[in-house]
Structures are given as C-alpha cells and as structure tokens.
Amino acid sequence: MGRPKANKPRNSNINVRLTAEERATFDDVAADLGFANVSEYIRFLHNQRVGETVQATAAEDFKARYPKRLIRSFHKTRLGEMIWGDSRAYLFNGAKPDSVDLIMTSPPFGLVRKKSYGNEDADEYCNWFRPFAEGFKRALKDDGSLVIDIGGAWIPGQPTRSLYHFKLLVMLVEEYGFHLCQEHYWWNPAKLPTPAEWVNVRRVRVKDAVNTVWWLSKTPFPKANNRRVLAPYSKSMQDLLRNGYVAKLRPSGHDISSKFQKDNGGSVPPNLLAIANTESTSRYQEYCRDNNIPIHPARFPPQLPEYFIRFLTEPGDVVLDPFGGSCVTGAVAEVLGRRWVCCEMSEEYLDGALARFQPSPVPLLKDRPASYEIAPPCAVPVDDADTPLFADGGAKRPPRVTEEQAEPKPKRRARAAV
Ligand SMILES: C[S@@+](CC[C@H](N)C(=O)[O-])C[C@H]1O[C@@H](n2cnc3c(N)ncnc32)[C@H](O)[C@@H]1O
C-alpha cells in the first residue's frame, strides 16, 4: 500500500512480544489488507484509534484545544473580515453560537496524506474533519445552510475512486445530525481529461468533470428561494411562451396544463451547475504575479459561491468560509451586500486575496455564457466489432502503436433512423 514518505526518519523501534502464530497472523493480515509491512499496519490501527479519541472529544474540549490566540484579524472591509489562522479557533472561540447564515466552503481535499486517497485515508479524513463538523454545528443558525464543495479522488495506482467525500457526507448526516438538503454537481466544461493514464492512455475510464457540492442544514427547513437563481429559458420554452401551448397529456402521463405558459422570468435551475473554471487573467492573478505571491491553486469560480449566497441568504446575513484560500467567498459576499468572515491558515494566500478588495471590490461577472453544450451519450456512432473492450480492464498498458501500424479509424456505426 503506497504511503507518502515520512518527513522525519522512522528510526525508532519498539519491541512487541508475540507468539509465532500471532506473528504469522500479523504478517498475513497486513499482506491481505495490502500493507507493505507490519509497521504500516500497526501505524494504521493506531491512527484509527487516535481518530476515535478525537471523535469522543466534546465540543467544550475543542474550545480549550483551539484557543483564540491561534487566530488574528488580518484585514477588514466594509462588510467583512479576513482572519489569519486556524478556523477551528474561530469556530469555537470567535464566532458566536447560532450566528452564521451560510457556511460556504471547500476544504482541502488531501490534507491528511498528500496525494493519497485510498479508502483508509477516507476514515482519516473524516476524523480530521470532526472538529470542523462540531464547530459548524455550533456556529450555524437553525435556518442556515452548510455548503461543502468537495472533489472526488482516485485511488493511487488503480482506476477506482475513493469514497472519502461520500464518507464525509454520511458522517455529517448520521453522526452530526445535519440534513442533506440536496446534493449539487459542479460541472466544469473546461476540465481536462484526467487522470490521463486511465482516460487517455488505457481508455478504461471517462473524463471526471464534476465536483460534488453537499448542501446541508441543521434543520430540514433552512431558508431558501429558488426564484433567486433562475436559469434563462431555453429557446423552445421561449417559443412556447411566445406562441402558446395546447394543454395536453404527455406520453409520459404528465399533464402539461396551460400553467406552463406563465412567464416566471426564467426556469428553475437543475442541481448541475455549469461553471467553467478558466480564469487566467484577473486582477487577483496580476496582483499575485506583480508582488511575487503564490496564486492559490484551488480557487472557487466566483459563480459557485454567488449561486449559494443568492439562493440561501438575505442581504446583511453572515457568510463564513472556514477554508478561505484566496477569499473568493468573501469578495462575492461583499459585492452582494452580505457580511462575511474568511479564515485562512496561510498568510500568503491572504496577502493575495487583498487584491479582490482594493481599490474596490471586484464586481461580479457580467458577461457569462447563457448555456454550455453537452452531447447526449453515444452521440458519435461507433461499431462494437471494430472497437473491442479491454478485457483486462486496463490492468496493462496497451502497446504503443506506431503510425505505420495504426489501423484505420473504427468504422462509424450507421445511425438508426428515428
Ligand atoms: C481548497 S482551498 C480553498 C480555496 C478557496 N475556496 C478559494 O476560492 O480560494 C482550502 C484552504 O484551506 C486552508 N486551510 C486548511 N486548514 C485550515 C484551517 N484549519 N483553518 C484555516 N484554513 C485552513 C488551506 O490553506 C487552503 O488554502
């Protein structure tokens, strides 16, 4: 089982007295579970145990564990504040209980073991998240919402996915009592096909183009209004509104009544949020480049917090981003007239975030595409016989094909007439 290298040498030993049988079962179980050796296995068991202890820590202990001295005010604007330091200290010693209307955030995906997301890491991830979960419950109002954007991850070395973000969701609901209002999917139409090995080279997986966004709340009825986030009507709906519709029963059995002719200003959006994250020139980036500040590598596109802030908060409400990064949430909240707090551990990221507010807050994007195109599945007809499956599921790399060896492109399947 791959583990990142320890940043300190592991040269300290302890002796454990075992019988020969015990020793054999340790070796067997460690090998069965995929650990490289017994040390790895014992370390894993220990980490699990430590995680359970964190789970048992009461909220009051978190108050002592994350004292106020771990945070300090970094910068204030008309409506908000950037806080430098560990947001757990803010959650337990800064924010008042039941004071926040929306927590809009994107936690680090791989903090526990960098670049490793096996499913045992998923348990570690959940344990790491526990103090935040407890702090979110403390700070959030009963009618407030918690929105967590969290990308999926591949298990290193094989074409399968980690369950860590699903485990996090289950933990938040089953252990901390949050309600899952609705999952959203952020589709990034500009996402590159990764991981290249499985998608482009071995061709056994497809492009991973969505992030899950968990919308949760303390009660089943957080305040919300989908009329705040309408999507433009499609061309056919516009025609329908213009030309009228004959009320009738659809083949599906749905009764399309004349109510469908009412212009509501736009249609109710789906829970698939199409937002291309392609920003390459912006005031933020220019400022970072000019001042030799690292550009945050995992920034929100502003439309993501904008959607949830509009949908779930009123002007004057309080929005908190406990993993603030380059403070996109704060900047969007400021423009939308919401009060806000962003906590961030890295001072450099906050240095860069200043550009979002100076000399004045960056306005929201005006020119946004009315729609993106996505093809229905199997829109390119391909003949099965010319394109056999990889029977080994991609376990081995296909041999490189030179140009001379290359076969003609697979014959296209004739489209059946509809
Ligand atoms: C995925 S990034 C968030 C990026 C942000 N949404 C943006 O648009 O720039 C997560 C951030 O959380 C910060 N972080 C991790 N642990 C933290 C903690 N305990 N308190 C405050 N910030 C933390 C990391 O430094 C990182 O910048």
Query: Is residue 104 in a domain?
Result: yes
- Together in a domain, 185 and 327: yes
Q: How many domains are contained in the chain? A: 3
Domain boundary among 219, 245, 266: 266
Regarding whether 317 and 196 lie in a shared domain, the answer is yes
Span from the CA of 107 to the centroid of ligand 1 (angstroms) = 6
Ligand 1 centroid, distance to 57 Cα (angstroms): 23
Q: How far is the CA of 343 from the centre of ligand 1 (A)?
A: 8
Active site residue 106: yes
Whether residues 201 and 311 fall in one domain: yes
| For residue 334, pLDDT beyond 80 | yes
Q: How far is the CA of 397 from the centre of ligand 1 (A)?
A: 37
> 131 CB less than 6 Å from ligand 1?
no
Convert the pLDDT of each residue in 180-203 to its tens digit. Answer: 999 999 999 988 888 899 999 999
In sequence order, which ranges of 66-160 are alpha helices (DSSP H)?
Answer: 87-93, 119-139
Does the beta carbon of 89 sit less than 6 angstroms from any atom of ligand 1?
no
Taking only the tens place, the pLDDT of each residue in 76-135 is 999 999 999 999 999 999 999 999 999 999 999 754 444 454 555 778 889 999 999 999
Note down the domain range covering 200. Answer: 70-231+268-356
What pLDDT is attached to residue 157? Answer: 86
Residues 91 and 169 in one domain: yes
Same domain, 272 and 344: yes
Domain annotation covers residue 345: yes
Instruction: Tell me the pLDDT tens digit for each residue of 377-411.
Output: 999 999 999 999 999 999 999 887 666 665 556 56
Average pLDDT over all residues of the chain: 86
My answer on whether 193 and 155 are in the same domain is yes
What is the pTM for the complete model shown? 0.82
Tell whether 374 is covered by a domain: no
Query: How far apart, in whole angstroms, are the C-alpha atoms of residue 397 and residue 268?
Result: 45
User: In 10 A of CB 361, how many CB atoms?
Assistant: 19
Please indicate, yes or no, if residue 330 is contained in any of the structural domains: yes
User: Do 130 and 242 belong together in one domain?
Assistant: no
The residue annotated as part of the active site, out of 107, 108, 159, 269, is 107
For ligand 1, whether the C-beta of 299 sits within 6 Å is yes
Contact indicator for 154, 140 with CB cutoff of 8 Å: no
Counting from 1 in the atom list of ligand 1, the atom nearest the Cα of 105 is: 6
Indicate if 152 and 166 belong to the same structural domain. Answer: yes
Q: Is 382 a member of any domain?
A: no
The answer to whether 184 touches 215, Cβ cutoff 8 Å, is: yes
183 or 235, greater pLDDT: 183
Out of 312, 333, 356, a domain closes at: 356
pLDDT reported for residue 249: 63
Which atom number of ligand 1 is nearest to the Cα of residue 328? 8
For residue 132, how far is the Cα from the chain centroid?
16
Instruction: For the chain, give the percent of residues with pLDDT over 70.
Output: 83
**232 catalytic residue (yes or no):** no
What's the CA gap between 118 and 1, in Å, rounded? 9
Is residue 290 situated within a structural domain? yes
| Together in a domain, 237 and 194 | no
Neighbouring-strand partners of residue 249: 255
Catalytic entry in 106, 116, 162, 217: 106
Q: Is residue 396 part of a domain?
A: no
Whether residues 212 and 243 share a domain: the answer is: no
Query: What is the CA(277)–ligand 1 centre distance, in A?
Result: 18
Domain shared by 240 and 146, yes or no: no
Predicted confidence at residue 417, as pLDDT, reads: 43
pLDDT level of residue 246 (50, 70, 90 thresholds): low
Judge whether 98 lies within some domain: yes
End-to-end CA distance of the chain, in Å?
Answer: 51
Question: What is the average per-residue pLDDT within 270-287?
Answer: 89
Q: Which residue has the higher pLDDT, 110 or 60?
A: 60
User: What pLDDT does 240 receive?
Assistant: 78
Least trusted range by pLDDT, from 54-68, 142-156, 206-220, 342-356: 54-68
Stronger pLDDT, 308 or 368, i.e. the higher one: 308
Beta carbon of 295 within 6 Å of any ligand 1 atom: no
Residues 195 and 74 in one domain: yes
Whether 313 and 101 have beta carbons less than 8 Å apart is answered as yes
Nearest residue by C-alpha to atom 10 in ligand 1: 108
198-216 per-position pLDDT tens digit: 999 999 999 999 999 999 9
Q: Give the pLDDT mean for 16-37.
A: 81
